[in-house]
A and B are shown apart, each in its own frame.
Chain A
Amino acid sequence: MRRKRTSMLANGRRTAPALLSLFVCALLLSGCWNSREVNDLAIITAAGLDLNEDGHIELSVKIYLTSSSSDSAGSQMSGAPDGNKGTSVIRTVTGINMADAASRLQKMMSRRVFWGQADVFLFGERMARAGLEAPMDFLMRHIASRERAHVFVCDGPAKNVLLLSPSIERSVADALVHMAEQQTGLNITMMDLAQMLISKSKAAVLPIVLITSGQGEQESFPYIQGVAAIKNGRMIGRVNEDVTRGIMWLRNEIRQATVTVSPEQSDGYVSLHLHRSQTRLIPKIEGGRWIMTVRITGQDDIVENTSDLDLSVPDHIGKVEKELEKVVNTRVKIALEQAQKELKADIFQFADTFYRKYPKIWEANADRWDEIFPEVEVRLETDMRIARPGLIGKNFFRQEQR
């Protein structure tokens, strides 16, 4: 079709397209300077920091292998990960500090080191005992690393944990993240750790990663057990699993718990599953006495009853509740004992609680906190309720009750 038309473009209108094309050209000048394609990245999923004999930092990183030689195009298309073995590699470098080690790591890599997906940071025990200030500065300052990454202390060198490849999860990082998020043990992120380290109490806790003593690499896997207590940036001790539960009660971090109690005058056990709990710290300073009231409230379900109690009777429920409170109190007391008397580290952040309520008194006594903390009088007010005793009252499978 013929279409002849006088130009609609006045002279002024002509400048607009010209300007536009100039802008587009300017855009091209910058190119894609900041662009990093995914296949130019070495994606770090977990990093471990150890201290070697010379006092240098040994940085080990677990790098996800995006290409494996056995991987054919066909299996890529279906997207099925072909087995779990060999999907990651470990690279270890040594440097005088974190930044030095990180830059040495880059020198060893054909691809750009990418910290953005590093979800797990492991500190070797030596490293933790020597002090976390130096690496923490790098990790918090570096733009690419995440504050939401999970932090652990390893029983032994961190590299050993990274070398594992647990068969259930895609990588050891995945496994540790999921384990931490279940909150059966402590779940501390980089941000939590930083907050604890700079808090008034200057004490922190980190979960400890242990390795099962299995045969061969396939069978051994990491798990979280126990707590490393950190004071003034240095690991000063570790506590066992029972005390860990007490610490978690005090830090209001209990999310899942199954407690088995043995009520008096009833042979057998009652197991309870905690489905909600809250811990409140109420500070009080009374005539030079520093008092901390710990109010723990919780609601439980009964999951198993092998005792002869009939749990449809309110009195019996009360009995079990009493017993449960006793158990919780015991655990909390053990934890307090350990923290106040042995570690002398305020891992429950009592200092901040006091500071918030009595800022002036605290400031006046800030230097003496290390002396005050072991003497803080802790009053426990535990209130456990059984919310759902279950569908049956007594255990009617017990022979003598038939």
Chain B
Amino acid sequence: MKLSNHLRENLRRLRAVYSDCADVVFHDMVIGGHTPAMLVYIEGLIRLEELDQHVVAPLRDGPGPNPALQDIRNQTSVASVKTCGTIEETVEKISGGNPVLLVDGQNAALVFGLSSWEQRSVEEPTAESVLRGPREGFIETMRTSIAMLRRKIRSPKLKVVTLHIGTCSRTPVAVIYVEDIAAPSLVREMLSRLKRIEIEDVLETSYIEEWIEDNRYSPFPQMLSTERPDVASAYLMEGRVVVMVDGTPTVLVAPATFFSLLQTPEDYYERYVVGTAIRWLRYFFLAISLLGPSLYVAVVSFHQEMIPTTLMLTMARSREQIPFSALMEAILMETMFEALREAGARLPKQIGSAVSIVGALVIGQAAISAGIVSAPMVMVVAITGIASFMAPRFTIGIPIRLLRFPIMFLAGMMGLLGMILGVIVILNHLLNLRSFGVPYMTPLAPMQSRGLKDVLWRAPHWMLNRRAKR
């Protein structure tokens, strides 16, 4: 609805919109001594001092009678001033934290870019800490986060497209990419998918992640999430697209591949030999974290002839008093371990240590000496636990931890055959999965020899042509 020429009419409508909104301030003022005007803003979302100094004060002495909107605009000393002509636009600007000046006799309003609110200072992201490398992380305020990216890629080719998602929350969302590196079709696809979202509010990137991912039922994440500007800009330079949501420091990177989820920034910051070694260690323990307990269960309850004799006798001895079957024992212990981990994660640090002590005692010492579980089982669970923490990102660690249970079950039912069946099903799914059209297992399947040097090993930087990955 267009703004009317009458200030009173406009105000009536705005007041109706902002009824029962105690934090919306309607500041009555008179421009230049004769033109009535109204400054509307939300308390706490604006820089009040600057508003006083650069808008209110100059306008009080203001231009002469019957000023044009341009005259009023020139009178103020604010860099960012926009005009808007509809009620809806005005409301959006006000809600976004911009003070809006409505002047009597004008069918347009002035919007001052003076929004500002309390924000967290830039800190090191705790979930993705590194020993070497930048220690800054994105913050909840999107424009600060975008600025961090801009500081890393100082090129006009870094493009930022913003849109609002959430019928109620109107959350600003930015799609960021590097022109000429990111495929235009990818950017188009991302924007069209974002526009299809019908949601009331967006509090975290995961809200939109579930809307735009290719396979909605997969346990595997099809987008990467990170809090690190260096990681995000590295992916931008590889031709990927970053989606940023105001109000959360976590950004999404698409497309994601299985192996990109297994990389850490430090792979690239450490020497390449070290990076390669750590990568292989990670792959190995990833397999353990998926199959460790299953392999133990399968071998102990079906394939005793596969264990070297001496080990077999030792294991037989330790399992002798155990009342449960190996499968039961494994499920019991793994569930216990997951519970402990979850309990520890949600507790304050001081209480967390108590949980870990009790947990160590219960699932470690006491369970064995009580003869409830066998010592090898505790070892297997412990190794699997360590292995699952090797996953560099929580999002990839979780599905693997969950899939461990069905595979364990299959191993307990059908031995190695069941285990292999489970692995085949998972592999099949992974090979089918796509992230924004990119096969999930790239560059392994389909095989891309150029991409392999960043998967099988971390080639030195002078050998890595990361754009080839696209």
The tally of CB-CB contacts under 8 A between chains A and B is 96
Is the pair A67, B320 in contact by a Cβ cutoff of 8 Å?
yes
Those of A86-139 within 8 Å (CB) of chain B: 114, 116-117, 119
Interface check A174, CB cutoff 8 A: yes
Contact A79 B326 (CB under 8 A): no
Bound Cα distance A28, B418 (Å)? 12
* A1-60 with Cβ < 8 A to chain B: 8, 27-28, 30-32, 34-39, 41, 43, 45
The CA of A303 and the CA of B300, in the complex, are separated in Å by 48
Which of B309-317, B435-443, B444-452 lies on the face that meets chain A? B309-317
Given A76-B317, A117-B305, does the pair A39, B310 have CB atoms closer than 8 Å? no
Chain A residues in the interface with B (C-beta under 8 A): 8, 27-28, 30-32, 34-39, 41, 43, 45, 64, 66-67, 73-74, 76-77, 79, 81, 114, 116-117, 119, 144, 146, 170, 173-174
Q: Are B309 and A76 in contact (CB under 8 A)?
A: no
Instruction: Tell me whether B319 is interfacial, beta carbon within 8 Å.
Output: yes
Question: In the complex, are the beta carbons of B413 and A39 less than 8 A apart?
Answer: no
Q: What CA separation (Å) do A5 and B387 show in the bound complex?
A: 37
CB distance from A64 to the nearest CB of B (A): 5
Indicate whether A77 sits within 8 Å of B300 (C-beta atoms), given known contacts A32-B412, A116-B305. no
Known contacts: A35-B301, A73-B371, A76-B321. The answer to whether A27 contacts B316 by CB under 8 A is no
Tell me whether B218 is interfacial, beta carbon within 8 Å. Answer: no
Beyond A34-B302, A73-B369, 7 additional pairs, beta carbon < 8 A: A28-B413, A35-B327, A35-B413, A38-B315, A76-B317, A116-B305, A117-B305
Judge whether B309 and A66 touch: CB under 8 Å. Answer: no
Contact A36 B301 (CB under 8 A): yes
The reply to whether A35 and B313 contact each other, CB–CB distance below 8 Å, is no
- Of the candidates B300, B371, B412, B415, which one forms a contact with A38 in the assembled complex, judged by CB atoms under 8 Å apart? B300
Contact at A35–B304, with CB atoms within 8 Å?
no
User: Is B322 interfacial (CB 8 A cutoff)?
Assistant: yes
Decide if B382 is an interface residue (CB 8 Å cutoff).
no
Say yes or no: A39-B316 contact (C-beta < 8 A), given A67-B321, A77-B375: yes
A30-B413, A76-B375, A170-B313 given as contacts; is B319 within 8 A of A39 (CB)? yes
Q: How far is the CA of A119 from the CA of B413 in the complex (A)?
A: 28
A35 with B369: CB separation less than 8 A: no
Cα separation A45 to B313 with both chains bound (whole Å): 9
Q: A170 CA to B309 CA in the complex, in Å?
A: 11
Closest to B327 in A: A32
Give bound CA distance, A74 to B301, whole Å. 25
- Which of these, B300, B304, B371, contacts A114 with CB under 8 Å? B304
Tell me the smallest distance from the CB of B373 to a CB of chain A, in Å.
11
Chain A residues near B325 (CB-CB < 8 A): 32, 35, 37
Q: Which residue of B lies closest to A117 (CB)?
A: B309
Contact at B415–A34, with CB atoms within 8 Å? yes
Interface hits, B293-340 → A, CB 8 Å: 300-302, 304-305, 309-310, 312-322, 325-327
Supply 15 A–B pairs (Cβ within 8 Å), ascending by A. Answer: A27-B410, A31-B413, A35-B325, A37-B301, A38-B316, A38-B319, A67-B317, A67-B320, A76-B321, A77-B375, A79-B314, A117-B313, A144-B305, A170-B310, A170-B313
Give B contacts to A, CB under 8 Å. 216, 300-302, 304-305, 309-310, 312-322, 325-327, 368-371, 375, 410, 412-415
CB distance from B295 to the nearest CB of A (A): 15
Query: Which residue of A has the minimal Cβ distance to B297?
Result: A35
Query: A171: shortest Cβ distance to chain B, in Å?
Result: 8
Given A32-B325, A39-B322, A41-B304: A8 and B216 interface contact (C-beta under 8 Å): yes
Chain A residues near B310 (CB-CB < 8 A): 170, 174
Q: B300 contacts A37, CB within 8 Å?
A: yes
Question: Which B residues are CB-close (under 8 A) to A79?
Answer: 314, 318, 375
Q: Which residue of A lies closest to B323 (CB)?
A: A39
Min CB–CB distance A136 → chain B (angstroms): 20
The answer to whether A35 and B415 touch (CB under 8 A), given A41-B316, A79-B318, A114-B304, is yes
CB-CB nearest in chain B for A118: B309
Give every chain A residue within 8 A of B301 (Cβ-Cβ).
Answer: 32, 35-38
Question: A37 touches which one: B319, B368, B414 (CB < 8 A)?
Answer: B319
Q: How far, in Å, is B237 (CB) from chain A's closest CB? A: 35
Q: Which residues of A sit under 8 angstroms from B318, Cβ to Cβ?
A: 76, 79
Give the one of A28, A73, A74 with max B CB within 10 A.
Answer: A73
Nearest 10 Cβ contacts at the A-B interface: A116-B305, A67-B320, A66-B316, A35-B301, A66-B320, A38-B316, A38-B319, A117-B309, A66-B317, A77-B368
Collect the chain A residues with CB atoms within 8 Å of residue B319's CB: 37-39, 66
* A74–B369 touching, CB < 8 Å: yes
Closest chain A residue, CB of each to CB of B329: A37
Name the distance in Å between B411's Cβ and chain A's nearest Cβ.
10
Q: Smallest distance from the beta carbon of B323 to chain A beta carbons, Å?
A: 10
Q: Which residues of chain B come closer than 8 Å to A39, judged between CB atoms?
A: 316, 319-320, 322
For A144, list chain B residues within 8 Å (CB). Answer: 305
Residues B371 and A37 in contact, CB atoms below 8 Å apart: no
Report yes or no: A117 in contact with B321, Cβ–Cβ below 8 A. Answer: no
Within the complex, what minimum Cβ distance (angstroms) separates A125 from chain B?
26
Q: How far is the CA of A81 from the CA of B300 in the complex (A)?
A: 20
Could you tell me the distance in whole angstroms from the C-beta of A178 to the nearest C-beta in chain B?
11
The answer to whether A36 and B413 touch (CB under 8 A), given A43-B316, A73-B321, is: no
Q: Whole-angstrom distance between the alpha carbons of A37 and B321 in the complex?
A: 12
A170 contacts across to B, CB distance below 8 A: 310, 313
Q: Please measure, in the bound complex, the distance between the C-alpha atom of A173 and the C-alpha atom of B313, giving whole angstroms.
A: 12
Expressed in whole angstroms, the Cα–Cα distance for A35 and B325 within the complex equals 10
- Please, which residues of chain A bring their CB within 8 A of the CB of B326? 37-38
The CA of A30 and the CA of B302, in the complex, are separated in Å by: 15
Closest CB in chain B relative to A180 CB, distance in Å: 14
Kindly provide the distance from the CB of A15 to the nearest chain B CB, expressed in whole angstroms.
13
Min C-beta distance of A39 to chain B, whole Å: 5
Nearest neighbor of A34 in chain B, beta-carbon distance: B302
Contacts of B305 in A (CB 8 A): 114, 116-117, 144, 146
Q: Is there contact, CB below 8 Å, between B304 and A36?
A: yes
Q: How far is the CA of A81 from the CA of B314 in the complex (A)?
A: 9
- Expressed in whole angstroms, the Cα–Cα distance for A43 and B310 within the complex equals 12
> In whole Å, how far is B410's beta carbon from the nearest beta carbon of chain A?
8
**Residues of A contacting B414 in the complex (Cβ-Cβ under 8 angstroms):** 30, 34
Q: Which residues of A contact B320 (CB under 8 A)?
A: 39, 66-67, 76
Q: Name the residue of chain B whose CB is nearest to the CB of A115.
A: B305
Q: How far is the CA of A66 from the CA of B322 in the complex (A)?
A: 12
